[in-house]
Amino acid sequence: MILSYHPMFVGDQNRLCAGRRPDAADRAAMRRAAAVILPQGTYRSLYEMARESCPNVFPGQDRRFSHPGKSGQARLFAEAAVPHPKTRIYAGSNDLDGERPPGPFPFVLKLDWGGEGRNVFLIDSPAAWTSALARLRAYEATGQGGFLVQELIPAAGRALRVAVIGTRAVAYWRVRPDGGFAANLAHGATLDHHSDPQLIKAGVEAALQFCRHQHIDLAGLDLLFDARKAAAEPLFLEINWVFGRRGLGGSEGFYRLLIPEIHRWLARRHLAVRHAG
């Protein structure tokens, strides 16, 4: 029996867990299931119950919960020995040397929470550092914590997004028209699926290999290429467990990719949905 919690994937049995905590009935259903299909942004309690109760769970998000936040991702990149910008991780502003910046300008400051370019700041002057430090401390006052300091990689105003969906990958550049920092759609970036195909190919290969090794089958990986190097290797920047779909053709395009990949994932385990119900 295939148990689905995903509203867009019909299993042999279908349940929803939105707005509530998983309960004994969920655990019993999972224990009867040969596979459990979860929503992309499933929360920890439902994911952990599924992993404890059933041998086959899609999507695999162990790394999302074992290495949370941007700091966790930086640790994961280091542990996996994949290329990534030089990074220092701080538990909080108390780890800093008073008001002094943690390194020479310019550098990148990333708060530990927020995806798709949120809470990422270019620190290129004392004024920028003072402003970012005030924002950091304001966030800490709300109970949030953790940040990292990263070297600034000159990337010609663009970043490569590789959306890994099962065994497939769709890659595209997010390009700042002004060549500036933070190449994401929230800052006015445009999409480019075609430029520098050799770099796109290298990024896709690196992302797929990383995801295979880490048992990740649904994520949007952001990669940078150092514009100063003629033969630059892809640098791992961030993992987005829930990612934008504009570059995939919107939600319709996303589900056209996702649903067949779930069926293929089941088939590789000699499983299939028998009937809808």
Which tens digits make up the pLDDT trace of 184-223?
Answer: 666 678 999 999 999 999 999 999 999 999 999 999 999 9
Backbone angles phi, psi at 87, to 5 degrees: -140, 140
Q: Mean pLDDT across the stretch 236-257?
A: 96
Using CA atoms, how far residue 193 sits from 117, 163, 274, in Å, is 20, 12, 38
What residues does each domain of the chain span?
2-58, 62-85+153-240, 86-151
* Residue 176, pLDDT score: 85
Q: Is the pLDDT of residue 114 over 90?
A: no
Using CA atoms, how far residue 55 sits from 15, 25, 58, 166, 271, in Å, is 18, 18, 10, 17, 12
Q: Is the pLDDT of residue 277 over 50?
A: no
Q: Mean pLDDT across the stretch 241-267?
A: 96
Alpha-carbon distance of 156 to 247, in angstroms, equals 20
pLDDT tens digits along 97-108: 888 999 999 999
Sign of CA dihedral 157, 112, 161, 18: negative
Q: Is the pLDDT of residue 115 over 80?
A: no
Higher local confidence (pLDDT), 46 or 179: 46
CATH class, range 62-85+153-240: alpha beta
* Residue 117, pLDDT score: 61
For 60-105, give the DSSP string.
--HHHHHS-HHHHHHHHHHHTT-----EEEESSGGGS-TTS-SSSS
Q: Is the pLDDT of residue 227 over 80?
A: yes
Mean pLDDT (the chain, rounded): 93
Hey, what CATH topology would domain 86-151 get? Dna Ligase; domain 1 (3.30.1490)
- Identify the CA nearest to 172 among candidates 185, 181, 182: 185
Percent of the chain with pLDDT over 90: 84
Q: Give the pTM.
A: 0.93
* Residue 241, pLDDT score: 95
pLDDT tens digits along 20-64: 999 999 999 999 999 999 999 899 999 999 999 999 999 999 999
